[in-house]
Amino acid sequence: MAQQLGYRYIDTGAMYRAVTLYFIRHQIDLEDEAAVTQALRNIEINFSTSAGRSVSKKSSPNSPAQNITLLNGEDVEQQIRDREVSQLVSPVATISAVRRDMVAQQRRMGSEGAVVMDGRDIGTVVFPDADLKLFLVADAEVRAHRRLTELQERGLTTTFEEVMANLLERDQIDSSRADSPLRQAEDAIVIDNSELSFEELVATAMGEVERVLVG
């Protein structure tokens, strides 16, 4: 969507994963509020594309470029998708200091508009007045199979059962956390992509852009 619109794309889930990776590397005690706060001061997260261009640049809609997450200038896109990070990211994301810091960064990133931003609290907390809110849902088994394929393509070894358990655990933690829980905004448009291909999903979403933003 961002490429077709010529907008900037922000993957907020990757931001929480990058924080989690930093905490793992530096052995930050999640119960130590002072240590967490100090660590956050040392974390800078940015995005680029696989082609080395700014994510705000427009490219061909038929050849999507990979979004690259940069942690303090380092490409960590591969590392933030591994099992250890996946298992810890939801507990990290429940920490209020982390959420406040990430939400502030996300609002700065989106302050100039022309942004496609995805995450579990974007339409309810980060940008409750967004021009268009899409809430994607899919069957849990479909989601797990997609994630397993993604991980295997990245060369990571895991099982369907492990992926499913992690997915359901993250959903439960994110939906029940006190700070910015995962929930559907009342004015969000729901899209069930259980049986949609990637291309069909993008086309459906762009159709909503045309309907809502262009009229």
Q: What angle do CA 50, 162, 32 make, to 5 degrees?
A: 75
Q: Would you call 5 helix, strand, or coil by DSSP?
A: helix
pTM over 0.75: yes
Give the residue-averaged pLDDT of 84-109.
93
Closest CA to 200 of 157, 153, 136: 136
Q: What angle do CA 193, 134, 59 make, to 5 degrees?
A: 85
pLDDT band per the 50, 70, 90 thresholds, residue 82: confident
**Taking 90 as the threshold, does the pLDDT of residue 32 lie above it?**
yes
Instruction: For residue 126, count CB atoms less than 10 angstroms from its CB and return exposed for 0-12, middle for 13-18, buried for 19 or more.
Output: buried
Torsion of the alpha carbons at 164, 166, 172 and 177, rounded to the nearest 10: -160
pLDDT at residue 59, rounded to an integer: 36
DSSP 13-52: HHHHHHHHHHHHHTT--TT-HHHHHHHHHT--EEEEETTS
**Taking 50 as the threshold, does the pLDDT of residue 57 lie above it?**
no
